[in-house]
């Protein structure tokens, strides 16, 4: 276990209050997203009339499990590693994580807050400034320890192509986009609107990340649905977008196009590919399918898609059906599913049946190849093993003890029924109204 090399291809940042200060001045800085503190002490971002809170389940590492919830939080309630890059490296070290790809929070996994902004000229300036901060300040603070992942102003295709070129020149090899741009009022991914995007992405050798919840919703049956039911299906909700993207003609036009299904898990993938092949076999005679001849959907899926998992023992037992070249690990720090700081223990126990070659691919080699990321450019291999990183964390005295932050209370004390989806939404709405007031 201590000899493993781990790359996490899905973690998150609770952006620091000074995020834009080094990259903007004057009116551009004055109109940028603002970090605010409400009367009740919780923190939120304000942007063009939008209220963007930091919510519990997005940053709960280090909390007691019974204190999880969806209430808005303050920076003081979070581990510093959520928003401070130096503390993040310490938390990566104690967890044995050699490198990490990070998605934003207040700006949305796919930059959706900029897409919703009324003043799109200002949003373009601020989106670019976010990319500068993310690539230069966050990822640049520790070269070789982060995989930069940029955002794109896809409401403006000319600006999108320009931004792809610009961030590629800064060493960024990944972008995060909505898996369903129609949710942003844009044409679907099957529309000719996106042709310049596919071309620019391939020309600059960029990987596309589609994160669960960024476009297609993770649905729940009703407001009375126990929240565990909703959480259970969240990863699998990515299959809706995966099926849509699998039908892209661009995948046939651009053999080098790469899509990472972020936070989607892998256990559902074998049946997904089987079902896609069956559907094509039974229906392509009348559907004018993009799949013709001997090419099957499963062939294209294995060629173009990376499947990313947090904890998926069933999926790891079926690596042969998924493809050992199509799986990568993700920690999901600091979200509620994250197994920090015990990732190596859980993962090692799940891969005992695999060969060393398969373990190396899943833990770091597939991520390096898919994201065009040279993990060993700035560090020697022996410096990045689980054992070496944990030794560094021990020497630095990194504290991993659980700390109470007061506790979330989705429902009133004394209630014994299961917490429901509606409870958490009411909790969030109550705190949002109180904070906004």
Query: Cα–Cα distance between 330 and 339 in angstroms, integer?
Result: 10
275-278 contacts, C-beta under 8 A, 24 or more apart? 276/243, 276/246, 276/301
Instruction: Give me 81's structure tokens.
Output: 């590693």
Mean of pLDDT values over 20-41:
95
pLDDT digits (tens, 9 = 90+) for 212-255: 989 998 888 899 999 899 899 999 999 999 999 999 999 999 99
For 372, the token pair is 């065009």
Higher pLDDT, 292 or 30: 30
**Residue whose token pair is 């949305």:** 108
pLDDT of residue 435: 42
Both tokens assigned to 337? 């599913």
Q: Which fold has domain 6-436?
A: TIM Barrel (3.20.20)
d(CA 69, CA 410): 7
What average pLDDT score do residues 151-170 get?
98
Q: What pairing do the DSSP bridges indicate for beta strands 146-147 and 305-309?
A: unpaired
Whether pTM exceeds 0.75: yes
**Structure-block tokens of residue 280:** 């094509």
The C-alpha atoms of residue 68 and residue 45 are separated, in whole angstroms, by: 21
d(CA 242, CA 83): 31
What are the start-end ranges of the H helices in 26-84?
A: 26-30
> φ and ψ at 417, to 5 degrees?
-70, 160
CB 74 within 8 A of CB 106: no
Q: Is 80 exceeded by the pLDDT of residue 311?
A: yes
Under DSSP, the state recorded for 419 is P
Interatomic CA distance for residues 51 and 28, integer angstroms: 19
Q: Which DSSP symbol is given to 225?
A: S
- Close Cβ partners of 77 (under 8 Å, ≥ 6 residues apart): 405, 406
pLDDT at residue 436 greater than cutoff 90: no
Model confidence band, residue 56 (pLDDT cutoffs 50, 70, 90): low
Q: Cα(349)–Cα(342) distance, rounded to whole angstroms?
A: 11
């Amino acid at each position: 276990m201590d000899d493993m090399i781990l790359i996490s291809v899905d973690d998150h940042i609770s952006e620091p209050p000074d995020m834009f200060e080094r990259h903007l001045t004057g009116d551009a800085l004055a109109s940028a997203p603002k970090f605010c503190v409400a009367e009740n002490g919780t923190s939120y971002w304000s942007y063009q009339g939008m209220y963007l809170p930091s919510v519990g389940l997005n940053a709960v590492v280090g909390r007691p499990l019974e204190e999880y919830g969806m209430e808005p939080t303050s920076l003081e309630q979070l581990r510093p590693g959520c928003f401070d890059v130096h503390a993040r490296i310490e938390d990566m070290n104690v967890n044995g994580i050699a490198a990490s790809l990070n998605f934003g929070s207040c700006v949305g996994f796919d930059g959706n807050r900029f897409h919703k902004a009324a003043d799109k000229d200002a949003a373009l300036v601020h989106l670019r400034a976010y990319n500068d901060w993310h690539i230069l300040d966050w990822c640049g603070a520790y070269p070789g320890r982060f995989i930069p992942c940029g955002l794109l102003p896809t409401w403006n295709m000319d600006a999108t192509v320009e931004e792809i070129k610009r961030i590629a020149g800064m060493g960024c090899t990944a972008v995060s986009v909505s898996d369903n741009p129609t949710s942003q009022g844009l044409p679907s991914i099957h529309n000719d609107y996106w042709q310049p995007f596919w071309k620019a992405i391939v020309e600059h050798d960029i990987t596309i990340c589609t994160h669960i919840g960024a476009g297609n919703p993770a649905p729940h049956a009703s407001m009375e649905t126990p929240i565990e039911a909703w959480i259970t299906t969240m990863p699998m909700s990515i299959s809706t977008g995966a099926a849509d993207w699998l039908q892209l003609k661009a995948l046939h036009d651009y053999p080098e196009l790469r899509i990472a299904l972020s936070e989607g898990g892998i256990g559902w993938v074998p049946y997904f590919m089987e079902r896609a092949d069956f559907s094509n076999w039974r229906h392509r005679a009348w559907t004018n399918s993009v799949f013709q001849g001997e090419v099957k959907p499963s062939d294209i899926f294995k060629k173009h898609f990376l499947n990313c998992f947090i904890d998926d023992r069933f999926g790891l037992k079926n690596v042969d059906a998924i493809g050992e070249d199509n799986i990568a690990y993700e920690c999901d720090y600091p979200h509620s599913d994250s197994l920090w700081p015990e990732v190596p223990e859980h993962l090692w126990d799940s891969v005992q049946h695999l060969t060393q070659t398969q373990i190396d691919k899943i833990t770091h080699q597939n991520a390096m190849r898919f994201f065009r990321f040279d993990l060993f450019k700035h560090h020697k291999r022996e410096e990045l093993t689980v054992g070496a990183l944990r030794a560094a964390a021990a020497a630095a005295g990194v504290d991993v003890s659980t700390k109470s932050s007061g506790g979330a209370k989705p429902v009133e004390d004394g209630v014994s029924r299961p917490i429901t989806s509606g409870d958490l939404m009411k909790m969030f709405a109550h705190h949002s109204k109180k904070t906004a007031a």
